[in-house]
Amino acid sequence: MTKNHEAIAILGGTGDQGLGLALRFAQAGRPVVIGSRKPERAEAAAKEVLAAVPDADVRGVGNPEATEQAEIVILSVPFEHSASTVKGIREQLAPGTILVSMAVPLAAAIGDGAMRTLGIWQGSCAEMLATLVPEGVEVVSAFQNVSAHRLQHLQEEVECDVIVSGKKAPRERIMGLCPLIPGLRAVNGGPLANARIVEEMTALLIGLNIRYKTPEGLGIRLTGLPEGD
Ligand SMILES: NC(=O)c1ccc[n+]([C@@H]2O[C@H](COP(=O)([O-])OP(=O)(O)OC[C@H]3O[C@@H](n4cnc5c(N)ncnc54)[C@H](OP(=O)(O)O)[C@@H]3O)[C@@H](O)[C@H]2O)c1
């Protein structure tokens, strides 16, 4: 199947974060393919996007089919299901595909708290996924610090910096997605290994959201970056 250069597939786009990204990218005019383990759940999520963004180019299909249809595939499932989900779509991950890692290895995955992370052998969720994808597929880390609640509120800006890490060419392509969402700014986060730091920041943000009673989710902003970067 030929991939649509502009399309963005969101696996697990039926959940809070994936649906938020689907709404925003659809609003920006990009074709969006929502993936799910159950195609009917993906179709229902696509209908939700259409209700909010009537001219959206959006459809809902199974995760493997969604992967086949896009060059950019965002993995939006909880950390503990990331490896198994990627193993389930390996055959559809054609060379040239960019897999975006957004999950955070929160200790909640093993019944501990969401304000702490687990140690991952490879260093981070993103680096773990990089060991699982076929040759020619690049993993880029992004969007971990963006609040699902803010993404879903289309009438408001999201106001958050997105630290994007990975190899130069795929990293720049994912950085290019950030300005499609009002308020998001892409920050060049260098090599994929820096995903370790970015993933840890989400655990900190979750704690801050609890202490400051901000269920809508805090964002992060770096100061002093040169204009236009
Ligand atoms: N929520 C936030 O504010 C936020 C912020 C930043 C980053 N993130 C990250 O974004 C990702 C998605 O977060 P979320 O809050 O949207 O998660 P979620 O709602 O708990 O789950 C997202 C989707 O994952 C799929 N899923 C659930 N169990 C699964 C399993 N056993 N195997 C495969 N897929 C499974 C489900 O899709 P189907 O049932 O349709 O297959 C579900 O709708 C996570 O990695 C999270 O760390 C979230």
Range of the domain at 151: 4-211
pLDDT (mean) for 192-206:
98
Q: What strands lie across the sheet with 32-36, from one edge to the other? A: 58-62, 32-36, 4-11, 70-75, 98-101, 138-141
Residue 7: predicted pLDDT: 97
Per-residue pLDDT at 2 exceeds 80:
no
pLDDT digits (tens, 9 = 90+) for 96-138: 999 999 999 999 999 999 999 999 999 999 999 999 999 999 9
pLDDT at 229: 60
Instruction: Decide if 13 is inside a domain.
Output: yes
56 in a structural domain:
yes
Residue 106: give its domain's CATH number.
3.40.50.720
Structural tokens at position 1: 């199947």
Q: Which atom of ligand 1 is nearest the CA belonging to 103?
A: 45
Q: Is residue 218 part of a domain?
A: no
In a domain, 106, yes or no: yes
Q: For residue range 52-100, list pLDDT tens digits in order.
A: 999 999 999 999 999 999 999 999 999 999 999 999 999 999 999 999 9
SS3 call for 191 = coil
Q: Name which residue sits closest to atom 18 of ligand 1, judged by CA.
A: 15
Does the residue 228 lie in any domain? no
Residue 50 has pLDDT above 70, yes or no: yes
| Alpha carbon of 228 to ligand 1 centroid (Å) | 32
pTM of full prediction above 0.95: yes
Share of the chain above pLDDT 70, in %: 98
Nearest to 24 by CA among 114, 124, 156, 126: 156
What is the rounded distance in angstroms from the CA atom of residue 173 to the CA atom of residue 187?
12
Nearest CA-CA partner of 113 in 197, 220, 204: 204
8 A C-beta contact, residue 89 and residue 62: no
Position 107 in a domain: yes
Residue-level pLDDT at 107:
96
Number of domains the chain is built from: 1
Instruction: Report yes or no on 86 lying in a domain.
Output: yes
Residue 229 CA to ligand 1 center (angstroms) comes to 30
Residue 202 lies in a domain: yes
Residues 6+ apart with CB under 8 A from 195: 101, 123, 124, 125, 126, 127, 141, 144, 165, 189
Give every CB contact of residue 186 below 8 A, 6+ residues apart in sequence. Answer: 161, 162, 164, 174, 175, 176, 177, 178, 179
Is the confidence at residue 147, as pLDDT, over 90?
Answer: yes
Nearest Cα residue to atom 31 of ligand 1: 81
Summarised one tens digit per residue, pLDDT across range 214-229 is 999 999 999 999 986 6
Tokens of 202: 């989400």
Probe ligand 1: pick from 40, 47, 77, 124, max atoms within 8 Å of CB?
77
What is the whole-number distance in angstroms between the Cα of residue 37 and the centre of ligand 1? 12
**Which protein residues are within 6 Å of ligand 1, measured from CB?**
12, 14-18, 36-38, 41, 76-79, 81, 85, 102-104, 144, 146-148, 217
